């Protein structure tokens, strides 16, 4: 693996995991089967991220809009989420992975909320990797929520000055740095309401590979692409 490691790695990788349904359709399977295999990709990409020493990984798992999917599919997704949390906790503990959730967790059942809390608490001392899962997440709602909280604190006199630094403190995960690198699988060329504030200067990489097929080899190729890029943050390169 050492020979394949890029010379320069991002600090924070964010991934829009797209294509589970299409993967299942291409194989003439139920959509749920795509989600099940997609969980295997989550495990592999998380493991490779930890092995590479990348400290932050954020995965877009379930958007606020996804609640409008067919009831049976949503029910199965919730069951898979609960199973994932149960089975992956030992893996997280063994590998020093700290679990985090961003999004409107109050939308989930009390049982799942309890699982979120348990895994977050159990992994809170882990330091090798912060794995954030975006659940019932909406970038626009996150921004509106932050603005509402800021307005309330400003009215109470808690804050005097509102700037970008202040605003960041009111996001779901203020301590986590903005993503350096955003990967989207399945070839779609859009952000899908993901981390709209945080990706202002993020390098974006789109691959046609569907999420269940996105494994170590494809991930390393994406990271090599990142290593070849020059990040200017709006500045002009001097020749």
pTM of the model: 0.94
- Rounded Cα distance between 191 and 193, Å, is 6
With cut-offs at 50, 70 and 90, classify the pLDDT of residue 239. very low
Return the pLDDT at 233: 63
pLDDT digits (tens, 9 = 90+) for 195-236: 999 999 999 999 999 999 999 999 999 999 999 998 776 665
Rounded to the nearest 10°, the torsion over CA 109, 125, 39, 193 is 70
2-226, CATH topology level: Undecaprenyl pyrophosphate synthetase (3.40.1180)
- Choice among 18, 20, 100, 180 that is catalytic: 18
Q: Which structure tokens are listed for 195?
A: 């981390």
| Alpha carbon distances (Å) from 224 to 7, 8, 9, 93 | 8, 8, 8, 29
Phi, psi of 88 (to 5 degrees): -90, -15
The answer to whether residue 213 is catalytic is no
Count Cβ atoms within 10 A of the Cβ of residue 212 and give its class: 0-12 exposed, 13-18 middle, 19 or more buried: buried
pLDDT confidence of residue 235:
64
Does the structure show a pLDDT above 50 at 167? yes
Eight-class DSSP state of 235: P
- pLDDT-based confidence at 5, cuts 50/70/90? confident
Tokens of 155: 């009215």
Which of 20, 30, 40, 66 is labelled catalytic? 66
78-118 residue pLDDT tens = 999 999 999 999 999 999 999 999 999 999 999 999 999 99
Quote the CA–CA distance of 45 and 114 in Å, as a whole number: 26
Would you state the pLDDT for residue 231? Answer: 74
Handedness of CA 197, 214, 56, 64 (dihedral sign): positive
Which of the pair, 230 or 150, is modelled with greater confidence?
150
Handedness of CA 60, 61, 66, 67 (dihedral sign): negative
Beta bridge mates, 58:
14, 132
The percentage of residues in the chain with a pLDDT greater than 90, rounded to a whole number, is 92
- Say whether 18 is catalytic: yes
Q: How confident is the model at residue 72 (pLDDT cuts 50, 70, 90)?
A: very high
């Amino acid at each position: 693996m050492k020979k394949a490691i890029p010379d320069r790695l991002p600090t924070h990788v964010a991934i829009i995991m797209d294509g589970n349904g299409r993967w299942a359709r291409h194989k003439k399977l139920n959509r749920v089967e795509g989600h099940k295999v997609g969980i295997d990709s989550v495990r592999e990409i998380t493991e490779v991220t930890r092995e590479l020493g990348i400290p932050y990984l954020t995965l877009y798992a379930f958007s606020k809009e996804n609640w409008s999917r067919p009831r049976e599919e949503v029910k199965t997704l919730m069951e898979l989420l609960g199973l994932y949390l149960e089975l992956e906790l030992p893996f997280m503990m063994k590998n020093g992975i700290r679990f985090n959730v961003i999004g409107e967790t109050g939308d989930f059942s009390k049982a799942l909320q309890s699982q979120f809390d348990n895994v977050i608490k159990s992994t809170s001392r882990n330091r090798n990797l912060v794995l954030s899962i975006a659940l019932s997440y909406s970038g626009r709602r996150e921004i509106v929520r932050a603005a509402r909280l800021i307005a309330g604190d400003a009215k109470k006199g808690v804050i005097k000055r509102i700037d970008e630094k202040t605003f960041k403190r009111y996001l779901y995960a203020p301590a986590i740095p903005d993503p350096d690198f955003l990967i989207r699988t399945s070839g779609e060329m859009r952000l899908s309401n993901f981390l709209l504030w945080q990706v202002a200067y993020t390098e974006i990489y789109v691959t046609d590979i569907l999420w269940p097929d996105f494994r170590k080899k494809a991930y390393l190729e994406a990271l090599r692409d990142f290593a070849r890029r020059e990040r200017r943050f709006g500045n002009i390169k001097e020749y």
